[in-house]
Amino acid sequence: MSDGAGMLGPLARRRRTTIHGSAGVKQANGSKWHQDAGDGKPESPGKAKKKDAASRKAVGHGKVDGEPVTAARQADSNGPRSPGNEEEQLSDRLSCHVLQESLLSSASGYSNYRGILNWCVIMLHVINNGSVFMYLSCFCRYGILVDPIQVVSLFLKDPYSWPAACLTIASNVFILAAFHTERRLAVGTISETTGRILHFFNLTFLFLPLFSYQDTNRWCREIGQAKAKKLTRSYSCPTVAPCNGSAVQTHVSYPGNLTHRDIYYFIFAPTLCYQLNFPRSPRIRKRFLIRRLFEMLFLMQLLVGLIQQWMVPTIQNSMKPFQEMDFSRMVERLLKLAVPNHLIWLIFFYWFFHSSMNFVAELMQFGDREFYRDWWNSETVTYFWANWNIPVHKWCLRHFYRPMLRRGVNRRLAQIAVFLGSAFFHEFLVSIPLKMFRLWAFMGMMAQVPLAWFVSRFLNGNYGNAAVWVSLIIGQPVAVLMYVHDYYVIHHGSST
């Protein structure tokens, strides 16, 4: 779930959005289809490619992270700010979501899957090395190992030790603490310093969303302190009332957003960045919802089946070569694990970022469906990290990277800080569930730095895209085997 490395890379490409009332339709490759008043014909592909190339050269020349730099954002790192300019900057920070569809949804009209062709070529070479034959041998040697009941029994064996359920119940305490702290800050019964101290001790496993919540509300208070006569735009959780198939949104400004409904809508919405007015879809599409639900159920069973039938036997057979430090057999097991691990990762990505998040967004009529961009077309490692997990990437940009730039921190130091923070959270998310502290995930993230430099310096186009795919196919199984080996040694080493 990283995007820290994404700060080091090229611009994120523009993706197509379908927003009524705009001048044209944006595409994921950075071009636009403009409709002229006379003929309404789309722009030619040649011109679109030239515009795309021009947009790539715009790094540091009026664009940041694939988005036009507004006057407010330019002033963030351009020295002193006037009161009016500061107010404009604060207003610009408040909104970070727009109404748009996910790329893999048919409504987006997206069709650029050139990176998938490179993936197919690489997978054919890997499969020719015997990975599929190993999968078939699992059936011959072990029979059918798929057992969904076994997974359910693991949860039912000791229901009082479910960590997810206990954390979900306990999270309400921290959510309500953040909510009441903000209400006290809004009426002035506690100082900003006291509020920050309370928020600091309240930031737990809901760190990212609650930090965004308090940060955005603080920006609203700063606008009020700047004595703005009138907000050009108001931001709050909209109240949607159906009216002949359409939605009527009521926008309220701070502190009208400090309600229980508002904060719980944000917590359940598929985003980590809080804003007062989220874009809302006009209605719930029942067919779309049913398709996403079917995908969630089917892909979950497929993931369980692949793990039980393919991953578990391969990992178990890999323990002995690691214990004996047989390098040749270790490489062999690594390559055999690469294909199932990679397929499971791809299926999980689609299940979580497309099916699950779109299902929740459709239920809540959350309009911004940009949960990922076209990372499969990545020609650099940094572009992949900046585009495969947009909610985390957007949070890092809004609440970590750009605030450091506004405080005068050097751009390169800010990029390194974000990357180190991302590497730390990778290790944290792995070490806590396994109850053992290792640095494999952290070192894996740090290894991306020289890899990103090498790919961006020496490989271009399809070669760069192929390098990104190879790093994903080979890199993840290495970390998986390291953690499984250490876990096995800690818990079962004495019995062997």
Q: What is the pLDDT of residue 162?
A: 66
- CA distances (Å), 70 to each of 76, 78, 232, 271, 370, in order? 10, 13, 15, 23, 21
**DSSP assignment of 1-52:** ---GGGGGS-PPPP-----TTSSEEE-TTS-EEE--TTT-PPPPHHHHHHHH
- CA distances (Å), 448 to each of 66, 141, 395, 411, 420, in order? 22, 38, 21, 19, 11
User: What tens digit of pLDDT does each residue of 175-215 get?
Assistant: 999 999 999 999 889 999 999 999 988 877 788 899 999 99
Place of tokens 């067919």: 287
Higher pLDDT, 269 or 50: 269
Higher pLDDT, 110 or 6: 110
Higher pLDDT, 200 or 155: 200
Q: Mean pLDDT score of the chain, rounded to an integer?
A: 75
Number of H helices, E strands in the chain: 21, 6
- CA distances (Å), 273 to each of 48, 64, 94, 129, in order? 32, 18, 10, 44
Q: What is the pLDDT of residue 422?
A: 86
The helix-helix angle for 286-306 and 327-349 (nearest 10°) equals 160
What whole-number distance in Å separates Cα of residue 384 and Cα of residue 2? 10
Which residues have CB under 8 Å from 26's CB, separation 6+?
14, 15, 16, 17, 32
What average pLDDT score do residues 110-126 get? Answer: 84
pLDDT(268) > 70: yes
The helix-helix angle for 357-364 and 286-306 (nearest 10°) equals 160
Which structure tokens are listed for 494? 């004495």
Q: What is the pLDDT of residue 248?
A: 46
Q: How many CB atoms lie within 10 A of CB 188?
A: 9
What whole-number distance in Å separates Cα of residue 140 and Cα of residue 149? 22
Query: 42 preceded by cis ω (within 30°)?
Result: no
User: What tens digit of pLDDT does each residue of 276-333 get?
Assistant: 999 999 999 999 999 999 999 999 989 988 888 877 787 777 777 777 777 777 777 7
What whole-number distance in Å separates Cα of residue 180 and Cα of residue 192? 14
Does the pTM exceed 0.85?
Answer: no
pLDDT band of residue 131 (cuts 50, 70, 90) is low
What whole-number distance in Å separates Cα of residue 273 and Cα of residue 266? 8
Look up residue 276 and give its DSSP letter: S
**Hey, which residues does 240 pair with through a beta bridge?**
249
Which of 293, 265, 264 is CA-nearest to residue 279?
Answer: 265
Q: What is the pLDDT of residue 150?
A: 72
**DSSP assignment of 243-267:** ETTEEEEE---TTTT-SHHHHHHHH
Please tell me which residue in 199, 342, 399, 426 is annotated as part of the active site. Answer: 426
Q: What is the pLDDT of residue 330?
A: 75
Q: What is the pLDDT of residue 9?
A: 43
Residue 34 burial (CB < 10 Å; 0-12/13-18/19+)? middle
What whole-number distance in Å separates Cα of residue 340 and Cα of residue 307? 8
What whole-number distance in Å separates Cα of residue 241 and Cα of residue 228? 30
What average pLDDT score do residues 228-253 get? Answer: 50
User: According to DSSP H, which parts of 21-162 are helical?
Assistant: 45-56, 71-76, 83-94, 114-126, 132-142, 148-157
User: Which H/E stretch holds residue 240?
Assistant: strand 239-243
pLDDT(407) > 60: yes
Residue at 56: amino acid letter: R
What whole-number distance in Å separates Cα of residue 445 and Cα of residue 428? 13
- CA distances (Å), 39 to each of 32, 33, 34, 35, in order? 16, 13, 11, 7
User: Which H/E stretch holds residue 67?
Assistant: strand 67-68
Task: Report which listed range, 133-137, 279-283, 481-485, is most confident.
Answer: 279-283
Range of lowest pLDDT (45-49, 100-104, 127-131, 169-173):
45-49
Higher pLDDT, 234 or 257: 257
Which structure tokens are listed for 126? 């890997």
Task: Tell me if 254 sits within 8 A of 186, measured CB to CB.
Answer: yes
CA atoms within 13 A on the CB side of 267: 20
Which of 95, 408, 70, 86 is CA-nearest to residue 225?
Answer: 86
Can you say how many angstroms the Cα of residue 342 is from the centroid of all Cα atoms in its chain? 18
Q: What is the pLDDT of residue 340?
A: 84
| Catalytic site includes residue 34 | no
The helix-helix angle for 132-142 and 312-324 (nearest 10°) equals 100
Task: Report which listed range, 78-87, 325-334, 398-407, is most confident.
Answer: 398-407
- CA distances (Å), 312 to each of 319, 354, 404, 438, in order? 11, 26, 44, 21
What whole-number distance in Å separates Cα of residue 156 and Cα of residue 175? 28
Rg over CA atoms, the chain: 24
